[in-house]
Each structure stands twice: as structure tokens, then as C-alpha cells.
Structure 1
Amino acid sequence: MSGLDQLLRLQKWTLDEKRRQALDLETLIDKLKNDIIQLDQEVAREIATAQESIDLQRGLPAYRKMMQQRRERIETSIANLQVELQRLQDEIAEAFGELKKTEQAIQNRKQRQQMQERRREQIVSDELGIDLHRRRKSQES
């Protein structure tokens, strides 16, 4: 296996690993977004329940403040993860570009080798033709 082939293998593995990491981040972001939805639904249920009892209404502002802080922490986490995901997507694009360059280099090398082989075959064929022509000329004389 040549150095370019090994480099290609490494680049493919790196690209696949970065794609897996990006998928994991996207999954985590989706989970956190669902957590926010569930949190909002829970707050709405608590508000509806608090309307039935004066005691629950007294504790409602503290509960809502706590849940708002929780929501803000989740939103901050989502924002941080989205920045990380964007960085990772940029790395994926760069890794993909490098992979394509390596693939093109390998393809160019194969084409050069094929051209050299064709040239060698043509030279052998030409030599056989010249040799055959000389034999015929010498037999005619």
C-alpha cells in the first residue's frame, strides 16, 4: 500500500469520525430542544393546577423563576452546542476537500502509470515492427 493510499484511508476515517461527532451533537441539540418543550408543558400544567389552589398560587412565582432559569441554562447549552456543531461542520468540509484532493492525486498517478505502460507497449510494438521490416528487407536482398 502506497503512502497516498494510507493517507486516503486515514482521511476517510477522520471524515467518518467527524461526521459521527456531528450527528451526536445534532442528536443532543434535538434532545435539549425537546427538554425545553417538556419544560414549557410542565410549567403550563403547574399554572393550570395553581389556579385551583391559593397555596399553590403563592409558590408559583418561585417555581416559574426556577423553571425560567432552567430553561435559560438549556438554551445556553443549545447555543454552545450549535457553535461547536458549526465548527465541526467546517472541519468536515475541510476534511472532505482534503480527501478529494488525495483521491485526485491517486487518480492522476494511475493515469500516468497507464500512459507509461502504453508507451512501453508502443515502443515494444514499434521495435517488433522495425525488426520485422528489417528481416523482410534482408530476405528480399
Structure 2
Amino acid sequence: MTKGIDGMIRLHKWQLDEKRRQLTELETMRDDLLARKEDLAKQLVAEQEKVASSQVVNISYASFATAVAQRQENLMGSLAEIEASIEEMKDQVSESFKELKKYEVVEQRERERQMAKENRRQQADLDELAIQMHRRNKMRAS
């Protein structure tokens, strides 16, 4: 029985590790998108300052600002999707962890049963030895 449980534990540990790896990848992607969003905001501010300090009206600023706004909107959509994926993956990690714990508890209980069985066997052997020694002492005394 323990070989089957050992295999299930290994399988569930692998699945849990895989889900944790996927969660880490999603979080890395989210962090990258947040950094890109921040960079876009900085670029927009820098361009606004450049246009504000110039006396010549920069026609290209309008198209730049529109493009930045579109990119920010796209990033926000991507961030929302990744956040949803992260939450779903966290649920999957939690569920995988619970499954792993079930098998580990079963394994621990089986070990405890085996240990109790071994202790009972050893105690029975010691009891038998004590009975034999008591009989020998009784026979010698008679």
C-alpha cells in the first residue's frame, strides 16, 4: 500500500511544484506589464514637458499621446487578464496542496499503524520470553 501512496505523493508534489512555477511565471508577467505601464507614463510626462517648454506647437505630440493611451489601455486589459489568471492559479495551487496533504496524512497514519503493529509484536515476544523465564524459575524452585 505504501508504494502506491508514495507514488501518489510524488505525483501530487510534482503537480504542486508545476502549478507554483506557473504562478511565478504569471506574477513575473504581471510585474513586467506594470513596469511597461510605468515606463509609458514616464514617456508621456517627458513628452508633455518637452512640448510645454517648446514655443513651436508639436503636431506629432497628439499622435504620440493617442498611441500611448492606446498602449496603456492594451496593457490594462492584459493586466486584468493576468490578474484573473493569477487568482485562478492560486486556487489551483491551494487545491493541489490540499490533495497532497490528504495523501501525506494517509501515509503518516499507515506508518503509525505499522509502528503500532511492530510494537505489539515486540511486546508479545517480550511477554512470551517473560512467561518462559517465569516457568523455568518456577520449575527450578520446585
* TM-score normalised over the length of structure 2: 0.89
Structure 2 match to 1:124: 125
Report the alpha carbon displacement of residue 76 of structure 1 after superposing the two structures with TM.
Answer: 0.5
Report the alpha carbon displacement of residue 133 of structure 1 after superposing the two structures with TM.
Answer: 2.1
Report the alpha carbon displacement of residue 21 of structure 1 after superposing the two structures with TM.
Answer: 1.1
Report the alpha carbon displacement of residue 81 of structure 1 after superposing the two structures with TM.
Answer: 0.3
State the distance in 1 between where 2:129 and 2:73 align.
83
Provide the aligned length of Structure 1 versus Structure 2. Answer: 139
State the distance in 2 between where 1:44 and 1:133 align.
97
**RMSD in angstroms over aligned alpha carbons?**
1.5
State the distance in 2 between where 1:11 and 1:49 align.
57
Report the alpha carbon displacement of residue 139 of structure 1 after superposing the two structures with TM.
Answer: 3.5
Cα shift readout 1:54-106 (whole Å, capped 9, x = no counterpart): 2x1x2322221221111010111011001000000011111111112211111
Structure 2 match to 1:34: 35
Structure 2 gaps, min length 5: none
Identity of aligned residues (%): 35
Structure 1 gaps, min length 5: none
Structure 1 match to 2:75: 74
* TM-score normalised over the length of structure 1: 0.90
Report the alpha carbon displacement of residue 25 of structure 1 after superposing the two structures with TM.
Answer: 0.9
State the distance in 2 between where 1:132 and 1:63 align.
100
